[in-house]
Structure 1
Amino acid sequence: MHHPEFPVVTLISALALFFPLPWHLRAGNVAMVAMVFWLFWANIIYFVDSIVWAGNVNIVAVAWCDITTKVIIGANVALPAACLAVCVHLEQLASVRSVLTTKSSKQRRQLIEAALCFGLPIIVMALHYTVQGHRFDVIEDYGCRPSTYVSWPAILLIWVLPLLLAILTLGFATAAFTHFMRRRVDFARHLENRSALTTTRYMRLIIMSAVQMVWGVAITSYALWFATLTYRPYTNWADVHFDFSRIDQYVVLLTPPELLTNLEVLWWAVPVSTWIFILFFAFGHDAMAEYRACVLWFRRRVLRQQVVEKHNAISSIGSRPAIRPPPISSFGGMSMSTLVANDKGKSSATLPLPPSPPLARTKAEGYEASSPHSVSEYTASPTESSFHTPPGGLDAPPPFEASHFPHPPRHPVYDTKAHDLA
């Protein structure tokens, strides 16, 4: 066994893809789910092949090889197709051409993405039979690999099509990023009005797709260059499919070093693409929330522990709310109605408003006329109004002469608690 790291790398890569999967499933993002689907099965195929054919080229599990070689062909097209679907959607969200997302428009977009991410790869898998020279190849330590009769139809189908999808993806990613740079100030509000994405998620999707396609263009170009070294003309169907049922076997000791290098580079392309995806989505805020939820579920359901989430524990203690600055009124001061609205719902511990002395010795009518607002507007609850009633009732005369105490200025009354928190 020349590559003991192969099964370890592929198994870890396949399992790590499940970390960001729940968020994409709930969001209904068909393109991202398709990317996980194809990368997962590509890693599983490489994992099984690296174990079954470790140090041997035995012809076993023929049906497995017939299926997996087609899946490998489809995965080469599915990954750039999924990235293209992501970037097209992001460009539409950021452009002025986009409209508000409705249920019907979302379903229509999901159907288009499903056709692009699953329908197109299946078509390519079926068309590969036209350029399939023989059944498949078995390579020591690598397992089953698809056989391709390198001719101009094969170049267009197997290598040019993924390159075209990757170039289109980079174009839409550039356009989406340009929209973001032109309207950085109101971009967040513009984005929230059209989808559930945030600016951080938006940029993460764009950068991930661009990095995937730059990597994909490099790998596909290298594979195309190496394939053209064995280019043959496509003569006729009988010649291309002559002795179609044969299975070629490649032993490491008898295989040219150039071919082994090509095989190893293309093999590592799948784990690298997988970890590009994982690094962008498995360590974000959404993924961390998923991990915490899984841990809490395990502790509650399996370990039967009484777990209290942190935010619930803090709120039960009675944490102080954040103070928001009230809006500015047309006179340059703070809006009185905003202060009243902010005070509603607070505890009765708010200090009462002292009564304003009257301008002259009057009865109840004169006292009430001197106050532009009722006392209940400034209190936290209606029960506090009793603390603001003048001694002796409203019919009793004020205890002081107006000439001794001028009328205080009419300014907003601040909550003492709010000043302590500011």
Structure 2
Amino acid sequence: MTDSTYPIFPVFAFIGFIISIIPLPWHLKAWNSGTVYFMLWSALACLNQFINSVVWAGNYRNSAPAWCEISIRIMMGSGVGIPAASLCINRRLYKIASVQAVSSTRAEKRRDILVDTAICVGFPIIYLVLVSAVQGHRFDILEDIGCFPAIYNTIPTYFISTMWPLVIGLVSAGYCIATLYSFNQRRLAFSSFLRSNQTSLTFGRYFRLMALAMTDVLLSSPLAIFSIWVNATATPIFPYISWADTHYGFSRVDTYPALFWRSNHISASGIQFSRWIGPACAIIFFAFFGVADEARKNYVKAFMWLSKPFRSTSPPSPPTEKFSSKEKLVSISYVCLTPSTTLSSSPFSL
């Protein structure tokens, strides 16, 4: 069966990877840990899906088992890592909108980065450990898709795995609503706070972060509900009996041709939806931050740095004198004695 998304999806996935890492240097310089983790998780998700879509285009062979072990963990980790990064962004925006003291010293900035790291890295690691309790076997391979997690569809799965994007999205929504309320209540104090030296944020960057956070909130919770609905309706929900029953024959790898997995339209919609999340997040982020004034200034700096080896650093040599002293004296006398209109057309005019 012909894949209608090939090569469109690999192209978008690779573009998503590139545009996710382009703004990374200046966000690292500004200590914006929430946005940095958002970019890193989006870039990982895009790169992972790009590799899978190219390697398994038109086949479903178990040709790279070691890569699949890594790939499914990137897939599951980014599923909670991207919402967690959005939560950190919303949390920081709320602290600023409520005019709280935010990371003015290096120690306070380091503490905020540690908190964001615990949320954006620590929680996904714990999540991956917990998901192993409902992982039925090593992984699946789907034709045209690639490696895919093999999660046993049972009641504990919804509490261990499926619900977390929705929970994180709802917490982010709470922060977003609180941010809007605080901004409305403390508008003057907020303006003076941004003008002070207590934060590196500008008005433009703050409201771009707000737009990104609100977009994520408006999309993440409905999409998480859709994901739960797909998991609950695409396949039967089995009873959880024991660890041994769930992990029976764990070492096996199931492979599915495109004709088979596309025959279940609900499941196919969920699979396609899950792999487009990374490129979509990357494009949305770049739309807000990749074309801003700050980004354009950094593009100019990068271009100047890259073109530096090709630019001549030595001053141009003066023209070789071809006149004798007598001819030079005549030439200077001619310029001095002619009207001013002649000077404007002279090769010595400014």
User: What percent identity do the matched residue pairs reach?
Assistant: 33
- Deviation digits for residues 239-273 of structure 1 (CA, Å, limit 9, x no counterpart): 11111111111111223241222221222222112
Q: 1:203 aligns with which of 204, 207, 212?
A: 207
CA distance in structure 2 between the partners assigned to 1:270 and 1:220 by the alignment:
14
Match of 1:13 in 2: 16
Equivalent residue for 1:282?
290
Deviation at 1:59, TM superposition (A): 0.7
- Secondary structure of the structure 2 residue equivalent to 1:59: coil
The reply on whether 1:121 has 2:155 as its aligned counterpart is: no
Distance 1:250 1:265 in 2: 18
Shift of 1:153: 2.2
TM-score, scaled to structure 2: 0.83
1:350-365, aligned counterparts within 5 Å? Answer: none
TM-aligned CA deviation for residue 305 of structure 1: 4.2
**Structure 2 segments unaligned to the other structure (5+ residues):** 315-350
Residues 15-59 of structure 1: CA deviation (Å, up to 9, x unaligned) = 111221111110111221111111111111111111111011001
Instruction: Give the Cα separation in 1 of the matches to 2:103 and 2:249.
Output: 57
Indicate whether 1:251 and 2:257 are aligned. yes
Residue 238 of structure 2 is matched in structure 1 by: 232
Q: Report if the CA contact (8 A) 2:99-2:189 is conserved.
A: no
Q: What's the CA shift for 1:128?
A: 1.2
Instruction: Say if 1:303 and 1:168 are closer, same or farther in 2 by CA, change over 3 A.
Output: same
CA shift at 1:61, angstroms?
Answer: 0.6
Letter of the structure 2 residue corresponding to residue 242 of structure 1: Y
AA in 2 matched with 1:66 = E
The question of 1:93 aligning with 2:96 is answered yes
Instruction: Say whether residues 1:146 and 2:146 are aligned partners.
Output: no
Q: Which of 1 and 2 has higher RCO (CA within 8 Å, sep 6+)?
A: 2
Aligned residues: 306
Unpaired segments ≥5 residues, structure 1: 308-422
1:103 maps to a residue whose letter is R
Equivalent residue of 2:21, what SS? coil
Give the corresponding residue for 2:276.
Answer: 268
- Secondary structure of the residue that 1:17 maps to in structure 2? helix
Which residue number in structure 2 is paired with residue 60 of structure 1? Answer: 63
Structure 1 residues 44 and 211 mapped into 2: Cα distance closer, same or farther (>3 Å)? same
State which of 289, 301, 311 in structure 2 corresponds to 1:304. Answer: 311
TM-score normalised per structure 1 = 0.69
1:101 and 1:177 map into 2 onto residues whose CA distance is 23
Give the Cα–Cα distance (whole angstroms) in 2 for the partners of residues 100 and 38 of structure 1.
Answer: 24
- In the alignment, what sits opposite 1:403? none
Residue pairs, 1:28-43, within 5 angstroms: 28-43=31-46
CA apart distance, 1:99: 5.8
Contact 2:83–2:169 (CA<8 Å) still a contact in 1? yes
Work out the CA distance in 1 between the residues paired with 2:306 and 2:108: 38
Task: Tell me the distance in 2 between the aligned counterparts of 1:82 and 1:65.
Answer: 25
In the alignment, the residues of structure 2 paired with residue 123 and residue 68 of structure 1 have an alpha-carbon distance, to the nearest angstrom, of: 17
CA distance in 1, matches of 2:102, 2:39: 28
**1: CA distance, partners of 2:218 / 2:102:** 30
- Note the aligned Cα RMSD (angstroms): 1.7
Residue 186 of structure 1, CA deviation: 4.2
* 1:257-310 Cα deviation digits (max 9, x unpaired): 41222221222222112111111110111111110101111222x212469xxx
**Structure richer in helix, relative to its length:** 2
Aligned counterparts of 2:127 and 2:251: Cα–Cα separation in 1:
21
Q: Secondary structure at the match of 1:16?
A: helix
The question of whether the paired residues in 2 share the 8 Å contact of 1:177 and 1:206 is answered with no
Residue aligned with 1:25, SS: helix
Instruction: Identify the match of residue 177 of structure 1 among 157, 176, 180.
Output: 180
Q: After superposition, what is the alpha-carbon deviation per residue over 1:65-111, rounded to whole angstroms, capped at 9, x for unaligned?
A: 01110111111111111111111112112214436722221111111
- The 2-side partners of 1:4 and 1:100 are apart by 45
Q: What is residue 242 of structure 1 aligned with on the other side?
A: 248
Rounded to whole Å, the distance in 2 between the matches of 1:8 and 1:61 is 22
Among 40, 48, 56, the alignment partner of 1:45 is 48
